[in-house]
Amino acid sequence: MAAEVASNDPVRLELAFAAAAGVGIPVINIGPGGKSGVPEDLAACFERLDLLAKMAEGYGVTLCVKAHVGASIYSTPTTLECIKSVKNPFFGIDMDPSHIFRCGEAPESALGAVISAMKHVHIRDCAALPAGETGGGPGTPFQQMCGAGAINLKGYFDVLVKSGYSGPVNLEVIGPSLSLADANIVAGVSYGYMNACLKAAEAR
């Protein structure tokens, strides 16, 4: 349903677009790069995304980018600027609630502003932040299991369903390596929680 390329290098990304097209992966996700609060980095990010989206279009693959803690695109306002700047049918937003949450926003409230441009969701929960703080990591893999952290993921899924989002939702959990048994627990609990949210919203 999607793959992530941990690079903004056009040479590497063209290889990824070609490989994705060859095996039928419709979406390639990347991070925005740059640093938060640096206007030059944000402008350079938009220019780069525009060029990469045109490259992706040539392979019939959709390029998605997400707001990322500490990067040039990191919040709903910077995501909206990106949507206005990069106009390509093969470009979209990858909405990861854990990054929006760590920037001090409520993902279920922020979602409606960007959902029309969303073409992918990286889903996971997130450990609670100390009062008044932003940034930091999402916690251990077990704190990133859907339903185990501090994000209102049920509210997030309710907005997804009500808005008619029909794109891919892929679990992304990072951190120390897990045993196969523990990885299965993280995946299984997350699937069960998401499935329950969708059933409660009458989407399944």
Q: Which residues of 88-104 are buried (b: 16+ CB within 10 A; e: fewer)?
A: bebbbbbbbbbbbbbbe
CA dist., res. 103 & res. 67, Å (int): 10
Q: What's the confidence (pLDDT) of residue 136?
A: 87
Q: What's the confidence (pLDDT) of residue 130?
A: 85
HEC letters along 110-161: HHHHHHHHEEEEEECCCCCCCCCCCCCCCCCHHHHCCCCCCCCHHHHHHHHH
In 3-state terms the chain splits into helix, strand, coil percentages (rounded to 5) of: 50, 10, 40
Q: What's the confidence (pLDDT) of residue 131?
A: 79
- DSSP single-letter state for residue 64: E
Q: What's the confidence (pLDDT) of residue 132?
A: 78
Task: Give the closest residue to 4 by CA, choosing from 21, 25, 34.
Answer: 25
Identify the structural domains of the chain with CATH numbers, from first to last: 1-95 (3.20.20.150)
pLDDT less than 50: residues of the chain: none
pTM: 0.94
Q: What's the confidence (pLDDT) of residue 155?
A: 97
Cα of first residue to Cα of last residue in the chain, in angstroms, is 19
